[in-house]
Structure 1
Protein backbone atom coordinates (compact mmCIF):
# COMPACT_ATOMS: atom_id res chain seq x y z
CA UNK A 1 0.00 0.00 0.00
CA UNK A 2 1.32 3.44 -0.92
CA UNK A 3 1.42 5.92 1.91
CA UNK A 4 1.51 9.69 1.81
CA UNK A 5 5.03 9.66 3.19
CA UNK A 6 6.29 7.57 0.26
CA UNK A 7 4.60 9.89 -2.20
CA UNK A 8 6.07 12.95 -0.49
CA UNK A 9 9.58 11.46 -0.67
CA UNK A 10 9.19 10.79 -4.38
CA UNK A 11 7.87 14.32 -4.98
CA UNK A 12 10.83 15.81 -3.15
CA UNK A 13 13.16 14.10 -5.61
CA UNK A 14 11.50 15.48 -8.75
CA UNK A 15 12.88 18.29 -10.87
CA UNK A 16 10.95 21.51 -11.38
CA UNK A 17 9.61 20.47 -14.80
CA UNK A 18 8.50 17.08 -13.53
CA UNK A 19 6.95 18.72 -10.49
CA UNK A 20 4.95 21.02 -12.74
CA UNK A 21 3.65 18.03 -14.72
CA UNK A 22 2.61 16.28 -11.51
CA UNK A 23 0.80 19.40 -10.34
CA UNK A 24 -1.07 19.74 -13.64
CA UNK A 25 -2.09 16.10 -13.48
CA UNK A 26 -3.32 16.37 -9.90
CA UNK A 27 -5.26 19.54 -10.62
CA UNK A 28 -6.92 17.88 -13.62
CA UNK A 29 -8.17 15.05 -11.39
CA UNK A 30 -10.21 17.41 -9.27
CA UNK A 31 -11.73 19.14 -12.32
CA UNK A 32 -13.22 15.94 -13.74
CA UNK A 33 -16.28 15.85 -11.56
CA UNK A 34 -19.32 14.46 -13.25
CA UNK A 35 -22.56 16.35 -13.03
CA UNK A 36 -25.75 14.59 -12.06
CA UNK A 37 -27.85 14.03 -15.14
CA UNK A 38 -31.01 16.08 -15.21
CA UNK A 39 -33.93 13.81 -15.98
CA UNK A 40 -36.69 15.85 -17.48
CA UNK A 41 -40.24 14.65 -17.19
CA UNK A 42 -42.41 13.95 -20.19
CA UNK A 43 -44.93 16.50 -21.34
CA UNK A 44 -47.65 15.80 -18.84
CA UNK A 45 -49.43 19.09 -19.51
CA UNK A 46 -49.36 19.92 -15.87
CA UNK A 47 -47.29 21.01 -12.94
CA UNK A 48 -44.62 18.28 -13.37
CA UNK A 49 -43.49 19.30 -16.88
CA UNK A 50 -40.41 21.25 -15.77
CA UNK A 51 -39.71 19.43 -12.49
CA UNK A 52 -37.01 16.94 -11.59
CA UNK A 53 -39.09 13.83 -10.85
CA UNK A 54 -36.32 12.09 -8.90
CA UNK A 55 -36.07 14.86 -6.35
CA UNK A 56 -39.85 15.01 -6.02
CA UNK A 57 -40.11 11.23 -5.61
CA UNK A 58 -37.63 11.14 -2.75
CA UNK A 59 -39.19 14.01 -0.79
Structure 2
Protein backbone atom coordinates (compact mmCIF):
# COMPACT_ATOMS: atom_id res chain seq x y z
CA UNK A 1 0.00 0.00 0.00
CA UNK A 2 1.24 3.46 -0.88
CA UNK A 3 1.36 5.93 1.96
CA UNK A 4 1.64 9.71 1.88
CA UNK A 5 5.12 9.45 3.34
CA UNK A 6 6.29 7.30 0.42
CA UNK A 7 4.79 9.75 -2.07
CA UNK A 8 6.37 12.72 -0.31
CA UNK A 9 9.74 10.97 -0.31
CA UNK A 10 9.53 10.41 -4.06
CA UNK A 11 8.41 13.99 -4.65
CA UNK A 12 11.42 15.29 -2.72
CA UNK A 13 13.69 13.51 -5.20
CA UNK A 14 12.14 15.08 -8.32
CA UNK A 15 13.70 17.84 -10.38
CA UNK A 16 11.92 21.17 -10.77
CA UNK A 17 10.53 20.33 -14.22
CA UNK A 18 9.25 16.94 -13.06
CA UNK A 19 7.76 18.55 -9.98
CA UNK A 20 5.88 21.02 -12.15
CA UNK A 21 4.45 18.16 -14.24
CA UNK A 22 3.30 16.37 -11.09
CA UNK A 23 1.67 19.54 -9.81
CA UNK A 24 -0.18 20.10 -13.10
CA UNK A 25 -1.37 16.50 -13.07
CA UNK A 26 -2.62 16.73 -9.49
CA UNK A 27 -4.39 20.01 -10.13
CA UNK A 28 -6.10 18.51 -13.19
CA UNK A 29 -7.41 15.65 -11.02
CA UNK A 30 -9.13 18.13 -8.72
CA UNK A 31 -10.74 19.94 -11.64
CA UNK A 32 -12.19 16.77 -13.13
CA UNK A 33 -13.71 15.76 -9.80
CA UNK A 34 -15.44 19.10 -9.36
CA UNK A 35 -16.91 19.17 -12.86
CA UNK A 36 -20.34 17.60 -12.90
CA UNK A 37 -22.08 17.08 -16.19
CA UNK A 38 -25.65 18.22 -15.91
CA UNK A 39 -27.57 17.79 -19.13
CA UNK A 40 -30.67 19.94 -19.12
CA UNK A 41 -33.45 19.78 -21.64
CA UNK A 42 -34.04 22.59 -24.05
CA UNK A 43 -36.98 24.93 -23.61
CA UNK A 44 -39.54 22.56 -25.03
CA UNK A 45 -42.44 24.21 -23.22
CA UNK A 46 -43.56 20.82 -22.04
CA UNK A 47 -43.09 18.14 -19.43
CA UNK A 48 -39.34 17.72 -20.06
CA UNK A 49 -38.32 21.33 -19.38
CA UNK A 50 -36.93 20.88 -15.85
CA UNK A 51 -36.11 17.18 -15.83
CA UNK A 52 -32.89 15.26 -16.13
CA UNK A 53 -33.08 13.67 -19.57
CA UNK A 54 -30.78 10.80 -18.63
CA UNK A 55 -33.00 9.65 -15.80
CA UNK A 56 -36.12 10.04 -17.92
CA UNK A 57 -34.53 8.03 -20.76
CA UNK A 58 -33.75 5.12 -18.45
CA UNK A 59 -37.31 4.87 -17.12
State the TM-score bracket (shorter-chain normalisation). Answer: 0.5 to 0.7
How far, CA to CA, are the matches of 1:14 and 1:20 in structure 2? Answer: 9
2:28 counterpart of 1:28: yes
How far, CA to CA, are the matches of 1:6 and 1:24 in structure 2? Answer: 20
Render the CA deviation track for 1:32-52: whole Å, top value 9, x for unaligned: 134243354xx684xx44222
Give the total of aligned pairs: 51
When you count helix as a share of all residues, which structure comes out higher?
2
Q: What TM-score does the superposition give when structure 1 sets the normalisation length?
A: 0.62
Q: What TM-score does the superposition give when structure 2 sets the normalisation length?
A: 0.62
* Unaligned ranges ≥5, structure 1: 54-59
Q: Alignment partner of 1:25: what SS?
A: helix
